[in-house]
Structure 1
Amino acid sequence: MPYSKNDRENLTPRERPTPTLSIVVPCYNEEESLPFLLEGIDKLNENLLATGRIEQPLTLWLVDDGSADRTWELIKTTTARFEISGIKLSRNHGHQYALLAGLMQADGDVIVSMDADLQDDPNAAGEMIDHYRKGSEIVFGVRASRTTDSALKRKTAQGYYRLLSILGVDLIPDHADYRLMSRKARDTLASFGESNLYLRGLVHKLGFQTSIVTYDRAERSAGESKYNLRRMISLAIDGITSFSVRPLRLITLSGFFIAAASFLFIAYALVAWFMGETIPGWASTTLPIYFLGGAHLIALGVIGEYIGKIYTETKARPRFIIDTTIHNDANETAKPEAAPNQKAAE
């Protein structure tokens, strides 16, 4: 007797049947990368079917996050040996929101999220499905190394994860947004209504049984990274302020420390005055003013970040707006368009 979709999530690990698979890929100006992506997903689909990890072709969900190039035109006209569903957002909402839009629409028993640049190895999805069938509700894709990053990026990443640990934010180092989620985990994620999204933190906060799959991260297949320094800093700040209040507590502790230092300075000044010693006025007056002024501005900035988040959350505006949704049925005879370098070779 076949299992219903609702029954699948309540089965013990040994009873879990072969799942249906959806892959969600946010796209922003990925016209150059899409042919490579479709070729990689086609090979993955063929491999998963051949190894029995899935029994029917996967569904690929491509989310156009307000691209300015021909990304949406390619999504609308592309056919493959698997179903392609396209979601066009009304404007550029940001990577995390585009990813969430795809996750909420995907209908597979398991949902894999990845980026369009093929730096995340698609073949790792097969091992993720194996972990799901053994009982994991969430499987995190973790980079085996950072050899593709510059030395500066490696050092800043290490420092960032160390800072998160100090601040009490529990994240998996070197995990971005390449992961598998069961339908149960996805539905639980949907109950989180916050507007300030940091999905790698939210998903980890769900709990459930999890596991890790390591993979070698490749160079970009085409195009340039859309995550510039400003966006990376913004995402890093969201990661801290969305999951920890320790920065606010550090402000309080700093206040006590500065007050204690001020009392010590006053005591020193009084002792010096009673002993008839003069204290140079400019340095003793100006330096504490500059120090306290800088400390106050930093404190106001940290508090402002939290107040800004409260302001955004209380507005309760939609996290994303979908303009159009399309579905291109699987075409058994279709093959992905050759990537540009292959065309040149032919």
Structure 2
Amino acid sequence: MKNRLFTVIPCYNEEEVLSETARRLRKKYTALMQSGQIAKDSRIAFVNDGSSDRTWQIICDLHAQDPVFTGIDLSRNRGHQNALIAGLLTVKAHADMVISMDADLQDDIDAMDEMIEKYHEGCDIVYGVRNSRKKDSFFKRTTAEAFYRLMNRLGAKTVFNHADYRLMSRRALDGLAQFREVNLFLRGLVPMIGYRTDTVLYERHERFAGESKYPLKKMLSFAFEGITSLSTKPIRMISALGFLLFFISILMSIIFIVEFFLGQTVSGWASLIVSIWAIGGLLMLAIGVVGEYIGKIYMEVKDRPRFLIARFLEEEDEHEE
């Protein structure tokens, strides 16, 4: 089995951690090459997602010092998911298998060994799954686990406690390339590919340096993006609730008509005002959810490119040769 490995690492303002990430990955690659698990011409590809610091310069310096490092420079910032798929689809023609991971060293590099073993056993996709969340705060642990359960209940099937640390074969990447949507949520798209899959448990570490690129506001936006990109259940839930309220309104109308003919007065304005606010709020919520889907349709029909590559150091080297 061919075994040229590319590791794809999206980077956005990662100058504080990039050198250490490169050092640890180079050490791991050396061990994997010596054991024959990966080919000698395997590569580590950093994807610069429009960073405003020295990230791209560091990537170029690493490439100049050691050909095992290569870089992909996006034309502008496109967000983590677009940067990740840009890297995956750019290197898939050069690789037999690709591992994606973050630059902050929270993903356990040593788990790569078992991922590669499972690839050699015939797996096309190997998911890196956290073995526990003991190091997370109570709030983060609770919200993260609720997120995965909510996603699955709403029809967006994901792998529990899996982020974007995974191995994919070239065949799996060819399958991923056929998903053309602009609104990306790779944690939900990759399981749709199928083929033989497996998981590798690992312990997630603390961030080595720098600040997290996913504060609470961005995490909530990411969760909402995942739900609306992969599932239509929210619209169906609103439709079901609308039918329920319509049925209740018919019953209430019958009650009011009966009370009118019996000469009974309406109990007061409170119930009326509460009803108006409740129905008004539901309508606004429904319009908002439906509007979100219409907005996504609007973005999809434009068929804009998900990313543009400014430079790919690997191809530049090949042309020079």
Both proteins in one fold, TM over 0.5 = yes
Q: TM-score, normalised by structure 1?
A: 0.87
Residue 78 (structure 1) aligns with: 62
Match of 2:86 in 1: 101
Deviations 1:294-331 (A, max 9, x none): 0000000110111011000011111011112224999x
Match for residue 231 of structure 1 among 212, 218, 235? 218
Aligned to 1:61: 45
Asked whether the equivalents of residues 49 and 57 of structure 1 are also in contact (C-alpha less than 8 Å), the reply is no
Alignment check: 8 A CA contact 1:61 1:85 kept: yes
Give ranges in structure 2 of 5+ residues lacking alignment.
none
> For the residues of structure 1 that align with 2:237 and 2:216, how far apart are their CA atoms?
26
Deviation at 1:23, TM superposition (A): 0.3
AA in 1 matched with 2:181:
E
Q: How does 1:1-346 map to 2 (within 5 A)?
A: 17=1, 19-79=3-63, 83-106=68-91, 107-327=94-314
Distance in 2 (alpha carbons) for counterparts of 1:329 and 1:278: 83
SS of residue matched to 2:149: helix
* TM-score for the superposition, normalised by structure 2: 0.93
Distance 1:148 1:202 in 2: 28
Instruction: Tell which deviates more after alignment, 146-155 or 190-199.
Output: 146-155
For residue 10 of structure 2, give the secondary structure of its aligned residue in structure 1: strand
Aligned partners of 2:145 and 2:161 also within 8 Å? no
Bigger mean CA offset, 212-221 vs 235-244: 235-244
Secondary structure of residue in 1 paired with 2:313:
strand
User: Secondary structure in 2 aligned to 1:214?
Assistant: strand
CA RMSD of aligned residues (A): 1.8
Deviation by residue 1:32-67 (Cα, 9 ceiling, x = unmatched): 010110121012112212332124153011110010
Q: What is the number of equivalent residue pairs in this alignment?
A: 314
The range that moved more, 242-251 or 48-57, is 48-57
SS of the equivalent of 1:239 reads helix
- Structure having the larger proportion of residues in helix: 2
Structure 1 position 286, deviation (Å): 1.1
User: Which structure 1 segments of 5+ residues have no match?
Assistant: 1-16, 331-346
In 2: Cα distance, 1:216 partner to 1:157 partner: 16
Q: Which has the higher contact order (CA 8 A, sep 6+)?
A: 1
Same amino acid, percent of matched pairs: 48
Q: Over residues 248-297 of structure 1, what are the superposed CA-to-partner deviations in whole Å (9 max), with x where a residue is unaligned?
A: 11111011111111122222223333443322331132111100100000
Deviation at 1:82, TM superposition (A): 5.1
Cα distance in 2 for residues equivalent to 1:179 and 1:171: 13
Structure 1 stretch displaced more, 39-48 or 306-315: 39-48
Letter of the 1:283 counterpart = A
- Equivalent position amino acid for 1:100 in 2: I
